[in-house]
Amino acid sequence: MKYKKRYIIIFMLLLFQFFVSFKFGYCLTIKEEEEMGEEFLKHIKKSVTFIENPLILNYIKKVGDKISSNIDSKPFDFNFYIIKNSGYNAFAAPGGHIFLNSGLFEAMDTEEELAGILSHEIAHVTCRHISQRLIKQTKIQLATLAGLAAGILLGSTGDSEAAAAIMQGTAAAGASAALAYSREDERQADQIGLKYLENSGYTSGGLISSLKKIREKQWFTPDKVPTYLMTHPGIDERIIYLSSAIKDTKPVSDIKNNDFEMANIGIKAIYGNKTQAEKEISIKLQKNPNSPAANYGYAIILERSGKKKDAAAYFKKALAQKPFDPYILKKYGILLFDMGSYREADKIIENVNSIIPEDPDGLFYMGRLKLILNNAEQGIDILKKLTGKHPEYKQAHYYLAKGYTEIGNIADSHYNLGIHSKNQKNKKNAEFHFKKALEAEKDTDKKKNIEKMIESLNPPPTMIIRP
């Protein structure tokens, strides 16, 4: 009887929990949030530009993984992204997707600052702040959420009019206030984030100095940008709270920042303001003429300015200090390719592929070099590998077509030109090349595939069923 009563109580509790979830929507499962995160990612990619540079992206991921690996019972696998945006901002999306603006990373001086920002965003995810906000907005569509995020990004750079337009365009203005983090959310994320930093070997100093930089970069005032566009409210309060809550606010000096310096200088040199980047990197070179990161960055600046021979000299200076760095080697090899030094470039890029064999840029230029150096079969094999592993590297199909033409494979040449034209959204050319490929192709399975590609260019009209 005692056990029966216990089971009845358990059953009633489960029933009550189900009723509350059904009635009030106070439940968003891990799987549901993961699915929402994937859809959210698809939408946000339409609104912003992502930086795909492996040197920068892999470094951010390495620091993020270092922090998240010390968390017990992670709700999600974390993914880290860099957005090309000058605003000082970072935010977490549903399902463990963490976004960092390039402008904020450019402004950082140490790995500690990066770790501080990432730990805070990771804490928002593990505290389920995002899902707690989402369950209160049961009628919000994914497109609306993506619009909200785009509005926040624009708002963070001071473009309040465009941000407001997006908010109205996605009907998100009313709901976004409820989705924004509260000051309580921010404090909890700071508290939990500090624990993550400590467990990962970092101190709190980086988080505080990053917050100070974000505060100094506030180009707008509250009357220009609505509160719901502020991704992280109460910065002044947080700085005061963190400074009083912790004793050690000085970043650890013995953390090796070589990787940080390479990624930080790289993002400035490649994506930042050229004049400003040249000034900053020149100062670093004056202080340390042998710095591989500063020589690497200055070489990129010179290349952007069209001074290719001078750039090559600085790449060599960087390689004198780090002769096996694949990212310096790759940039140097691509520069030699652009200068027409194909055999020298071939040797350099082969070294890159031996160190990072799956790197898409390395495969692309290696394939092109083999075609130029009259090794068409090898070039085709490399470019086929590239398109198989990295389908987003769309321009490879054009050079594949050239390779197939060289060996007299007309069917595959036209097929790849068809894919290239389709990627260029040139339907007429795509259809022409696919039909030519179909005429020349003898393999039955390949013919069927080409027919499917032709059909994809002319999808049947969508039927509208009216009541």
Q: Which sign, positive or negative, has the C-alpha torsion 368, 373, 376, 381? A: negative
Exposed, middle or buried, 158 (CB in 10 Å: 0-12/13-18/19+)? middle
User: In the prediction, which pLDDT does 223 show?
Assistant: 41
Instruction: Check residue 159 and report its DSSP letter.
Output: -
- Going by C-alpha positions, the residue among 313, 279, 308 that lies closest to residue 295 is 313
Q: Are residues 362 and 330 in contact, defined by beta-carbon separation less than 8 angstroms?
A: yes
| CA separation for the pair 99, 113 (Å, rounded) | 15
Burial string for 167-192 (b: 16+ CB within 10 Å, else e) reads beebebbebbeebbbeeebbbbbbeb
Q: Are residues 166 and 226 in contact, defined by beta-carbon separation less than 8 angstroms?
A: no
Give the position of tokens 């339409």. Answer: 46
> Per-residue pLDDT for the chain (467 aa), expressed as one digit of tens each?
554 544 444 444 444 343 334 433 445 677 877 887 787 787 778 778 899 999 999 999 999 999 999 888 888 899 999 999 888 888 888 889 999 999 999 999 999 999 999 998 999 888 877 766 655 555 555 555 555 555 554 454 444 554 555 445 554 444 544 455 566 777 788 888 889 998 999 988 888 887 788 777 654 434 433 333 344 556 666 776 667 666 554 554 445 578 999 999 999 999 999 999 999 999 999 999 999 999 999 999 999 999 999 999 999 999 999 999 999 999 999 999 999 999 999 999 999 999 999 999 999 999 999 999 999 999 999 999 999 999 989 999 999 999 999 999 999 999 999 999 999 999 999 999 999 999 999 999 999 999 999 999 987 765 444 44
3-class DSSP assignment, residue 459? coil
| CA separation for the pair 162, 429 (Å, rounded) | 37
Instruction: Check residue 228 and report its DSSP letter.
Output: G
Burial string for 317-326 (b: 16+ CB within 10 Å, else e) reads bbbeebeebb
Residue 289 neighbours by CB under 8 Å, 6+ apart: none
| CA separation for the pair 218, 229 (Å, rounded) | 13
Q: Are residues 314 and 289 in contact, defined by beta-carbon separation less than 8 angstroms?
A: no
The Cα-based distances of 282 to 275, 320, 328 in angstroms read 11, 19, 18
| CA separation for the pair 214, 35 (Å, rounded) | 31
Sheet holding 97-101, edge to edge: 79-83, 97-101, 90-93
User: In the prediction, which pLDDT does 225 show?
Assistant: 38
Task: Give me the residues paired with residue 98 across strands.
Answer: 80, 92
| CA separation for the pair 298, 419 (Å, rounded) | 38
Q: What is the DSSP string of 4-54?
A: HHHHHHHHHHHHHHHHHHHHH-----HHHHHHHHHHHHHHHTTTS-B---H
| CA separation for the pair 403, 379 (Å, rounded) | 7
Single-letter code of the amino acid located at 35: E
Q: How many CA atoms lie within 13 A of 352 on its CB side?
A: 28
- Label each residue of 250-295 as H, E or C: CCCCCCCCHHHHHHHHHHHHHHCCHHHHHHHHHHHHHHCCCCHHHH
Q: At what angle do helices 258-271 and 292-304 cross, to 10 degrees?
A: 10
User: In the prediction, which pLDDT does 182 show?
Assistant: 63
Please tell me the pTM assigned to this model: 0.80
Type and span of the H or E element at 81: strand 79-83
Give the position of tokens 């090559």. Answer: 312
| CA separation for the pair 340, 385 (Å, rounded) | 25
Q: How far apart are the first and last CA of the chain?
A: 58
| CA separation for the pair 115, 198 (Å, rounded) | 11
